[in-house]
A and B are shown apart, each in its own frame.
Chain A
Amino acid sequence: MTSTDSGNAPLAVQMRGIVKRFDDLVAVNDVDFDLRAGEVHALLGENGAGKTTLMNVLSGLLRPDRGHILLNGEPTRIRSPRDALRRGIGMVHQHYRLVHGFTVAENIHLGWDASPTVLTPARIEERTRELSDRFHLDVDPAARIWQLSVGEQQRVAILRTLARGARILILDEPTAVLAPGETDKLFGMIRQLSSESGRTIVFISHKLEEALEISDRVTVLRGGRHMGTHAAEDCTPRMLSQEMVGRSIEFTRQREPVELGENALVAEALSTTDDRGLPALREVDVTVRAGEIVGVAGVAGNGQRELSETLTGLRALTAGRIQVGGQDLSRAHARDFLAAGVGHIPEDRYASGLVLTESIEHNAILRAFQHPPVRRGPLLIQGAARRFARMLAKTVGLSISDVSAPVRSLSGGNAQRLLTGRELNASARVLVVVHPTRGLDIGAIEEVQQVLLRARATGVAILLISEDLNEVMRLSDRILVLYRGAIVGEFTDPEQFNLEEIGLLMGGALAAAS
């Protein structure tokens, strides 16, 4: 009952007994949720806790299977996002849902009843400029979305929602892809919106500290259920994390010192371009020694993807040199990298690392099918493939009876376990790891991290690219900071890793670091 006795603001929204199923998965299970007019309310939970689903119900994108919603005390049925906006509820999705080929002005005026019936580019750009001034959100009306940074895109999405008269603004994981500096700017904007214009804001997040910093009240969801609602000042991170995961999380640095071996991966002056042909990496030097984990910190979109792709042969270099165990791979393809002992845990495991339409067996041999015993001449030996898959499943501790089951039947944790095991099996030398724990639950996160540390202990050279700064700091022996395609800082002493300093560099503050 912590929440009800403080604050006298009227309830703008009451959601009662909301249930939402997807097939057999109950994403939101009998959840109550209140919003007071003018508050900043953090909705906290792990991946899959039902935060986004619950807010999709409020914003009209999904219809609840059960339950009802009261707006200002009136029972209301919200039929669509449009209907929600008419009632003053607007949501800014994690992927901003802007039409990339359109200009900012076109995106603002799209599907909006208040847009002029007859519109010219000049006219809507002028209107956009006015809106931009009114809400203090700086955007370039004539720019096309694909030309903008993520932070700028976010401003467009927020401006669009505000322009349509949203009094209740739902922000879904708004900080996920922002640099620390941009996050501060966003928080300033949220405070201004709530205090000056009295808007109600829902801040969906899985980051405890951020939620506590910005919000007046916090609601925690776990496994689709409502775990509690509290005034932010009554909360401690420990107590919230307990509610989020069901137990307290204590991450300890259990890293035994490892004797460093030779340089396993040496990349010098790597340069490459992105899909648009624009420079994505500028003369990046990376060296990883056997038994070492080198972390690469950075905000998404600063060249991480291109770095991991060049180091695994998926993207060609425009300049530079890559050596693995003394072998030159500067012009080599993915196959050669694999043959040289480079494993890869890719960013998007469901699109790249696994073939979702196929079986566990098919996925298990993805890195082994071009070599005996699975391959003989042009033939694929089914029996050998099956034995290989069973062996791998046993090694990584997958308790599955049938390796011909579809791989999509595995949980996120098990899928990553299979993938990690397969890559370690395939590569004795170097492992390029990208966001290895994104989207996993706490138990699986711990396990994957342990697997990486064990691999390190056996002398594998690991390059860890992650958005999760805590993860990078916990696992790495050395940290490089990537900003706009270049290494802007290096931290060599694990005892001296400094969150603030790394964050500043990630955001582009070019202070020289030790």
Chain B
Amino acid sequence: MIKRESGRLGRWAMGCLGWRLEQRTEPRNQTAHRLAAIVVGVVIALIAVQLAIGDEDAFNRIYRGTIGSKRGWSNILDLAAPLVLTGLAAAVALKLRRWNVGVEGQFFMGAFAGVAIAFQLESMSGAPLLALMFAGAALCGAAWIAVPAIARAYLNVNEILTTLMLNFVAILFLAYIATGPWRNPQSQGSILATRDIPEQARLPGVEVAAVEFSSGLLLGIAVAMVLWLVFRSTTFGYMVRTVGGSEQAGSYAGINVRLLSVAVLLLSGGVAGVAGVAHMTGGDTNAYATSLSNNTGYLGIAVAVLAGGSFPVVVFMAGVIGAIISAGSALRLLDVGSELGSFGLTGFILLMAAIGEGLANYRLRRERPERETLPPGDQASPAAAAGGAGGSRGT
């Protein structure tokens, strides 16, 4: 067992208050800590909104812009749809304690594959074309993470760094494509886009109880269910749990750890690629555009982390982040930046969640007053003290 103790600085800070942060031998209840931190984060954010605006109308607006109206619900679900899939992509990698920070890039490459196939096979009818587009997107997303995956498995190259770098390559590649051969002559300003994909290659919208949303959401939920089943009740899932717990134990159990590691990261990249094409075919932007992602890939990592890597919870957390972003745009009219709502609040909650998880490593204990000084008798004669100690506590 590893015995740990908090550092000096932390002790000092807490000591001032008469409390002491104590390292646990193993973290407890990370989920509970994370949830508590998220709740605290939201509460702080609401208080901040109140302080910043001081207008009761703000909360009203937030309410109506999110869960208070059909339009609000429709907004949330549309925003959540791509986040479910990018969240799942990040969560797949987390099962093996890998960080696929490249979801953003794979998302773009998935959309690229979709648009490329759609333009090449423009005359094809809807269903087979869409099937091809999705398959191509999965392959392209997986291909985009192949080098980091192999480098990690065989040379132990930090996948956080490599996948992150490839995001920028993907984004620049996108800019090249969107300004190059398939450029939409109408696109202008800083947003570059290709022309729209053919009509039959778009996913229809869905309407439930008069709430409209992208069919990508249904796809995301289906993928979440499939992943959940696969990881729960196949030997593949068992192997991932084993290697995720300890790579050494994985090799020991006869698992080809490197191959499994590559496979899991490719799966993660594939899901991210599907997220890209699903968003393009099902969302408002029916083209390959620089505005396509809006940090969806990065927010997906946030979703996966907040969900503790659990597939079903990813779906829920995507909704939560969707709601936060909706709330952000609802506030825009009140002279509060929507960026503050969408990014700032997400970031803040992510930071809180990280702190919550960090705190799960500790417990708070009332500082016991130490007996600093000795009874006078003992101090007078060290030898007597020694004698008393040596004898009375012997066997």
Contacts and interface: CB of A to CB of B under 8 A. Distances in A.
A–B contact at 8 Å CB threshold (below): yes
Given A346-B252, A378-B236, A227 B390 contact: no
Nearest to A347: B248
Interface string B380-395: 0011011101110111
Contacts of B4: 22
Contacts of B387: 1, 4
Interface residues of B, number: 46
Contact of B242 (A63, A64, A334, A358): A358
Contacts of B252: 312, 314, 334, 344, 346, 352-353, 366
Contacts, number: 151
Contact of A380 (B233, B245, B374, B378): B233
Nearest to B237: A380
In the complex, which of the residues A23, A66, A335, A337 has the most CB atoms of chain B within 10 Å of its own CB atom? A23
Interface residues of A, number: 67
Given A14-B389, A75-B373, A351 B3 contact: no
B245 A356 contact: yes
B253 A367 contact: yes
B176 interface: no
A16 B389 contact: yes
B110 to A, nearest CB: 26
Interface string A452-477: 00000000000000000000000000
A351 B243 CA distance: 11
In the complex, which of the residues B242, B251, B389 has the most CB atoms of chain A within 10 Å of its own CB atom? B389
Contacts of A312: 252
B245 A357 contact: yes
A367 B253 CA distance: 6
Nearest to A63: B5
B291 interface: no
Contacts of B234: 378-380
Contacts of A31: 393
A77 interface: yes
B157 to A, nearest CB: 16
B393 to A, nearest CB: 5
A273 interface: no
A32 B389 contact: yes
Contact of A369 (B238, B245, B251, B256): B238
Contact of A14 (B24, B246, B382): B382
A233 interface: no
Interface string B241-269: 11011101101111010000000000000
A80 B8 CA distance: 8
B390 A34 contact: yes
A1 B249 contact: no
Contacts of A367: 253-254
Interface in A101-153: none
B395 A243 contact: yes
B242 A362 contact: yes
B229 to A, nearest CB: 10
A25 B386 CA distance: 27
Given A1-B394, A75-B374, A357-B244, 15 more contacts: A3-B390, A16-B378, A23-B24, A25-B25, A67-B370, A79-B8, A228-B394, A243-B395, A334-B253, A352-B251, A352-B252, A379-B233, A380-B233, A382-B233, A408-B26
18 contacts: A2-B394, A16-B374, A22-B1, A25-B1, A30-B393, A66-B370, A226-B393, A334-B253, A351-B246, A352-B248, A355-B249, A357-B245, A358-B245, A362-B242, A375-B235, A379-B233, A380-B238, A408-B26
Interface of B: 1, 3-5, 8, 11, 24-26, 233-238, 241-242, 244-246, 248-249, 251-254, 256, 368, 370-374, 378-379, 382-383, 385-387, 389-391, 393-395
